[in-house]
Chains A and B, each alone.
Chain A
Amino acid sequence: DAMVIQNPRYQVTQFGKPVTLSCSQTLNHNVMYWYQQKSSQAPKLLFHYYDKDFNNEADTPDNFQSRRPNTSFCFLDIRSPGLGDAAMYLCATSTPSSGANVLTFGAGSRLTVL
């Protein structure tokens, strides 16, 4: 089945040690999103790519970066993780059209910062 796959599902890192989370999709969707979800909160949009165009949310810290080398893959880089960056990171994809724009989410990557 076509899907959105996130790796790793669980990541433990040390304070300040860079971490990269990956997302791949077989849906050939042109939009890919990264959300951060902290405990008991709604997902918060960090940024998204529309094809190769990067769109950063105004309140996303500089500590968070993203790369999209091709249609299928997108990466989230956290340059110097702090304790406050511990969260579930969700990747989603979509293809906007004149009709609906439905997001397909991956299972998420849970980041623990020690």
Chain B
Amino acid sequence: DAKTTQPTSMDCAEGRAANLPCNHSTISGNEYVYWYRQIHSQGPQYIIHGLKNNETNEMASLIITEDRKSSTLILPHATLRDTAVYYCIVKTSYDKVIFGPGTSLSVIP
């Protein structure tokens, strides 16, 4: 699996957009970018995934650079309930999911 690099922690003001970066410079052509989050004491929750194109769903947007070496998860209007650890994972459909340390996002009132 391609390795990912994420900041250890980030803060975001409530109501503002939270932009969480992820570097995956060794990504291969058939590897997808996935984002999960884990709220304290709960199981991880799938957020969004993409291959080449930008993606948007009801939870977030995923922006993937043209060279696919990095991506950004955007929570458009962060709320206190978005405080969690966010994991960026790069893998093929058939690879197992290995979690890195992730980014601890704190949404500040």
Contacts and interface: CB of A to CB of B under 8 A. Distances in A.
Interface of A: 4, 33, 35, 42-45, 48, 55, 88, 90, 92, 94, 96-108, 110
A90 B43 contact: yes
Interface of B: 32, 34, 36, 38, 41-46, 49, 85, 87, 91-102
A105 B93 contact: no
Contacts of A98: 93
A42 B102 contact: yes
Nearest to A97: B93
Given A42-B102, A43-B99, A48-B96, A105 B44 contact: yes
A45 B97 contact: yes
Contacts of B34: 100, 102
B93 A45 contact: no
B43 A105 contact: yes
Contacts of A88: 41
